[in-house]
Amino acid sequence: MDVLTLRKTRRALSTKSALFAVLLPPPVHGQSVVTVSVISAAEKFASASKFQVVDIGPGRHTGGFRYHATRIVRVFGALTELTKRGAKPGKQLYTVFERGFGIAYNLMIVGLARMLGCRIVLHHHTSKHTLSRSWRFIVLARVAGPNCLHVLLSEAMAHNLRSLYPFVNYVHVSHNACHVGIPKIMARSPVHSDRLRVGYLSNLCAEKGLNIAIEAAIKCRQRGLDVAFVFAGPAVGAEAKNALSRAKRILGDFLEIPGKVSGPAKAAFFETIDIFLFPSLYPHEAQPMVILEAMSYGLPIITTHCGYVKELVGDDGTVLDIDEGLPDRIVEQLEQYVTNGDRRRQRSVDAQSRFLQLRATAAVQLDDLMKALFVVNSDHRGPAP
């Protein structure tokens, strides 16, 4: 069956409809990137009449009165659209579980949708409530109802959710790997210059490991290792900016700070480094998109054991425990890559191979999610209310 025929067949079977009440970019971050990709999959799977998208995000506002004013207006827009759709069979609401005060917006939208008889599909991108029990999530899950379909990023997250909240009935795993493209360059040269280049890309702040990365870079120079570092991403706060200025004074040409990168600049970042370093100290890491992107480029990964990162990287990367000796152990790993080219090349192959396997699995999981959203009786996790 060709693709066109398959799409027509799927659309003929599609008798459910969904309202997507989601945070669209800006700002651009992992959650918004995945949300846009899920909507794109919906566009390919179902006819335009089967779903509607309402942006409930803050736009370019990062906080304060304008942030919440924008959100409140947009959330009421979503409530209006839900009301217009009415209480009819086969209606579904797709939204994302939010942290902090965002739970209030979740409760408003999910509460009305439940009253109107919609089935709730709740996508989880944060892991705090799956690593420890959260009363906020308990409240939201009760409001969403027993037929709510919870979409988790990994098997471990799904297992933890079920263990912490036995009343959750329906869980679907949808990995983030399918939301990362396959780079045009699939084979990497052994190194990109005489000097090994280590890349670190994140929101540059202490919580995401900036101070650890700086200390490791300085120790590399003290040991005489010919290793250069590239710290990409926006500096978050005055403390981070001061730390970067100090590091640049100490490291000189051994440190590049390109700032925020996107599009071709981001691709160039990955294409011109040899190792990817992600020394995050954030305990609730879920499935960082930047690690998946680095793996897609065949970059050996050095990261930290926080949240679900170890499950993501598996045995094909280096996952270090967080303690006082962390910078020294990062340096030790880098020294091994400097002196052992075969190890570096094998880790490169392993990283890309793991990414491609994860991506293939994730593509099937995403297709199953589309069926749960749009195809009646295609999902074994339970009928719509």
- pLDDT of amino acid 15: 60
pLDDT band at 192 (very low <50, low <70, confident <90, very high): low
Asked if residue 151 has pLDDT above 60, the reply is yes
pLDDT of 6 > 80? The answer is no
Q: Cα 309 from chain centroid?
A: 11
Dist CA 162 CA 348 (whole Å): 35
DSSP states of 182-210 as a string?
PPS--S--S-SSSSEEEEEES-BSGGGTH
The per-residue pLDDT for 189 is 57
Residue 92: phi, psi to the nearest 5?
Answer: -135, 150
| pLDDT score of 191 more than 70 | no
pLDDT computed for residue 385 by the predictor: 36
Chain centroid, CA 204 distance in Å: 17
Q: What's residue 321's pLDDT?
A: 97
Average per-residue pLDDT for the chain? 91
Domains, the chain, ordered by start: 3-173 (3.40.50.2000), 196-358 (3.40.50.2000)
Confidence of residue 108 (pLDDT cuts 50, 70, 90): very high
pLDDT at residue 48 tops 90: no
Output the pTM of the full model. Answer: 0.91
Sign of CA dihedral 24, 370, 96, 93: positive
Distance CA 118, CA 130 (A): 25
Task: State the Cα–Cα distance between residues 116 and 88, nearest whole angstrom.
Answer: 8
- pLDDT band at 378, cuts 50/70/90? low
pLDDT tens-digit map of 320-337: 999 999 999 999 999 999
Residue 186 pLDDT grade (very low, low, confident, very high; cuts 50, 70, 90):
low
Query: What stretches of 14-134 show up as alpha helix (H) in DSSP?
Result: 30-45, 64-85, 102-115, 128-131
Stretch 124-139: mean pLDDT: 96
List, as one string, the DSSP characters of 124-148: ----HHHHS--HHHHHHHHHH-TT-
Q: pLDDT tens, 59-102?
A: 998 889 999 999 999 999 999 999 998 888 889 999 999 988 89
Residue 149 · residue 119 · CB < 8 Å: yes
- For residues 73 and 381, the model is more confident at 73
- Average pLDDT estimate for 216-242: 97
In this prediction, residues 199-216 reach a mean pLDDT of 97
* Mean pLDDT (whole number) for 113-120: 96
Portion of the chain with pLDDT greater than 90, in percent: 84
- Predicted pLDDT of residue 324: 94
| Helix or strand run (H / E) with residue 18 | strand 17-22
pLDDT score, position 72: 96
Encode pLDDT of 196-207 as tens digits: 999 999 999 999
